[in-house]
A and B are shown apart, each in its own frame.
Chain A
């Protein structure tokens, strides 16, 4: 097992170490050369926007550890929250509308889970199709405007994204708490242990008696629910939610966080600290590029290149075929 506090030598060798150093380097460089970067206002924006990304990445990480992937998260997020707002405008109390939205998110997660677990559809295709279906359903039947404002007269709702606890934005507190919960879930509960088992060797997990299909359904249900929660925070801090987010590269930012942080796409690897690390790095990178006024398309280019390299490094560090484990073989 790797020790919790890697020394300087292993810091450079492990992927986590490299990402950590890169994040630090980027932070220092931006702080030195971009006067606007190292200001209280910007750092606050950074931390806040990064928290939403981080929360979504937590949900994604859970699925990825179990050797799945959920690219429908953004669709679930925008549609469930937008629908809740639309319902609220049409007369439902906001609380009830939000419950319906949460229920919708959970339902989509469960249906995706069944498609993957029982229908044995590869996760990437199941969630790709599901994302498209969810967005289509939403725009066709649930709401028509792509921009849904927070219904008026509900002041408490703004607190989620804009309030503070002891001076710390609620968003950040929520991210920290979710990190803690996810950490406990992964490292200390039966669910977490079995999740790693499934991700590492699905066949062995089945034979050992892991409740395979319920576990798969649970993963996608959790990630969908997390997406709904992230949507609430996003809508609250911006006072609106824009369904067009589905058509943006947001989902790739989430994947970038997960892969860059060091959670292997082939499952069974990675801890919550990898998500935090990835969030930090991607957050600093995106914020810095925005301040430098780098055009959006160039930003995407940079993100794309970084993601590609992260995946290449990932497949080198965590080879999918267990060529490394040939010892004792006949």
Chain B
């Protein structure tokens, strides 16, 4: 078989940090090639290069033997590459037919003509979707079909599916796999990114595994077993002294009181019947792959999201059922949620470092016309800035001028100045430099030593193993595994997290 796409020594760096390192990857004509790896292993980055979203930093990309580089997704599309994202790129307010023809309209369009053409197109692929239906009214599976139909209409011959089955029901999945078969039969090549190992094993012709941006192994699917895949996914050389020997020699802190308990929590399709407990004086690590609902579980506990009114389950704080409708209620009861996306809902970009930190303190009070005493701001904000070792040129420095690590420390300080008894860290070291990671980890350890109940949500296994006393693994909206640090291994955790 011939190679349709080949990456030669491909590297893609963001600000000097390689997300993909020296990868040699080939995609053959008429094959389904599964791309596996942890979150952040570089799967998405690699495929996004192919789809024209990023250029390569070094190395080359060959298509049919010729070196190519796509400046935009539109250009990739012209060359037959279509990427179907987890969240679809359809226009919800338009009909199925309009979406299929989007970007390819003639100057004059007859709705009826488009509908008829779309109908024929959909029937040829045996998709049971009404061309006149609005996309906003379709389920996840049908949206995916429309997206695929659109890609086929645009004469795509290389399809990239990023987590296509995450939101599908079993029947819909079967339908999707049939469709992949059909595309394959017509000579298309498919890259299939998934966390579901069984699916990859059953539908893929070849499997490639990425770890920390490097290609570990590529082989025929028949050569792999579930165990060998997991082994390859996590078997990393631990990165330097930062993550030492994992959690092996660590002994768990003794659990204190059960501070936060979540019972049968549900929210939409994301959190389904989750049950977990968090104890004082301990770090509880919460691991899960993308879409496992771990962030949502904790956001509900912190009042950031709201659960289903009738079947939502119970959240208990110190044994008492609570129902927070806004974060303020949770904050005043001592629950702090440190966001995973500091740019979106963490930082006040127009303000200085001290003002950012002091906003946390202000939020604990209620009298709106109470005066802000400048010496208090100086004193208290400065104290936390020093405790967390935020490096900025004076407290007046704007937060946008800081590095990612220092910004993260500001966000953490803003929460810690509220003296919470439960702190939820969501991906506390995302986009943070190595030095700051160590400092943030120390801060988290110290908090737990001081008796606070800590939750660390992370998709990076070494971080979970390094910090946690107790590890919870989330999968498909529930907690499926609980283990103490002494018994935890990367393989065990990953085994529970994949499905």
- What residues of chain A have their CB less than 8 Å away from a CB belonging to chain B? 1, 185, 188-194, 196-197, 200-201, 203-213, 215, 218, 268-269, 322, 324-325, 327-330
Contact of B343 among A197, A210, A211, A329 (CB under 8 A): A329
Contacts of A191 in B (CB 8 A): 368-369
Q: Determine if B339 and A207 form an interchain contact, defined as CB atoms under 8 angstroms apart.
A: yes
Which partner residue on chain A sits nearest B331 by CB separation? A209
Contact of B372 among A190, A200, A211 (CB under 8 A): A190
Considering the chains assembled together, what is the distance between the CA atoms of A196 and B352 in angstroms?
12
Supply 19 A–B pairs (Cβ within 8 Å), ascending by A: A185-B369, A190-B372, A191-B368, A193-B355, A193-B358, A193-B362, A204-B339, A206-B304, A206-B327, A207-B304, A207-B337, A209-B330, A209-B331, A209-B364, A327-B401, A328-B402, A328-B404, A329-B343, A330-B17
- What residues of chain B have their CB less than 8 Å away from a CB belonging to chain A? 14-15, 17, 304, 326-328, 330-332, 337, 339, 343-352, 355, 358-360, 362-372, 396, 398, 400-407, 414-415, 418, 430-431
Q: 7 smallest A-B Cβ distances: which pairs?
A: A328-B404, A209-B331, A209-B363, A203-B345, A330-B431, A325-B400, A191-B368
**Are A203 and B344 CB-contacts (below 8 A) given A193-B355, A196-B350, A330-B430?**
yes
- Give the interface SS of chain B, mostly helix, strand, loop or mixed: mixed
**Are A211 and B328 CB-contacts (below 8 A) given A193-B372, A194-B363, A196-B351?**
yes
Q: What would 20 more interface pairs be, CB under 8 Å, given A189-B371, A200-B351?
A: A1-B396, A191-B368, A193-B355, A193-B362, A194-B362, A194-B368, A196-B351, A201-B349, A204-B345, A204-B347, A206-B304, A207-B327, A207-B345, A208-B414, A209-B327, A209-B360, A210-B359, A268-B348, A328-B407, A330-B404
Which partner residue on chain A sits nearest B431 by CB separation? A330
Contacts of A192 in B (CB 8 A): 372
Considering the chains assembled together, what is the distance between the CA atoms of A207 and B368 in angstroms?
18
Contacts of B398 in A (CB 8 A): 1
Q: Determine if A327 and B403 form an interchain contact, defined as CB atoms under 8 angstroms apart.
A: yes
Q: Determine if A208 and B331 form an interchain contact, defined as CB atoms under 8 angstroms apart.
A: yes
Contacts of B331 in A (CB 8 A): 208-209
Considering the chains assembled together, what is the distance between the CA atoms of A324 and B430 in angstroms?
20
Q: Determine if B352 and A328 form an interchain contact, defined as CB atoms under 8 angstroms apart.
A: no
- Give the interface SS of chain A, mostly helix, strand, loop or mixed: helix
Please indicate which of the listed interface residues A204, A215, A268, A327 has the most CB atoms of chain B within 10 Å of its own CB: A204
Q: Determine if B349 and A325 form an interchain contact, defined as CB atoms under 8 angstroms apart.
A: yes
Q: Determine if A189 and B349 form an interchain contact, defined as CB atoms under 8 angstroms apart.
A: no
Contacts of A218 in B (CB 8 A): 368
Q: Determine if B371 and A188 form an interchain contact, defined as CB atoms under 8 angstroms apart.
A: yes
Q: Determine if A206 and B345 form an interchain contact, defined as CB atoms under 8 angstroms apart.
A: yes
Q: Determine if B349 and A200 form an interchain contact, defined as CB atoms under 8 angstroms apart.
A: yes
Question: Nearest Cβ in chain B — how far from A254, in angstroms?
Answer: 23
Contacts of B344 in A (CB 8 A): 203-204
Which partner residue on chain B sits nearest A204 by CB separation? B345
Which partner residue on chain B sits nearest A187 by CB separation? B372
Contacts of A206 in B (CB 8 A): 304, 326-328, 345
**Are A190 and B370 CB-contacts (below 8 A) given A206-B326, A209-B331?**
yes
Considering the chains assembled together, what is the distance between the CA atoms of A193 and B346 in angstroms?
16
Contacts of B327 in A (CB 8 A): 206-209
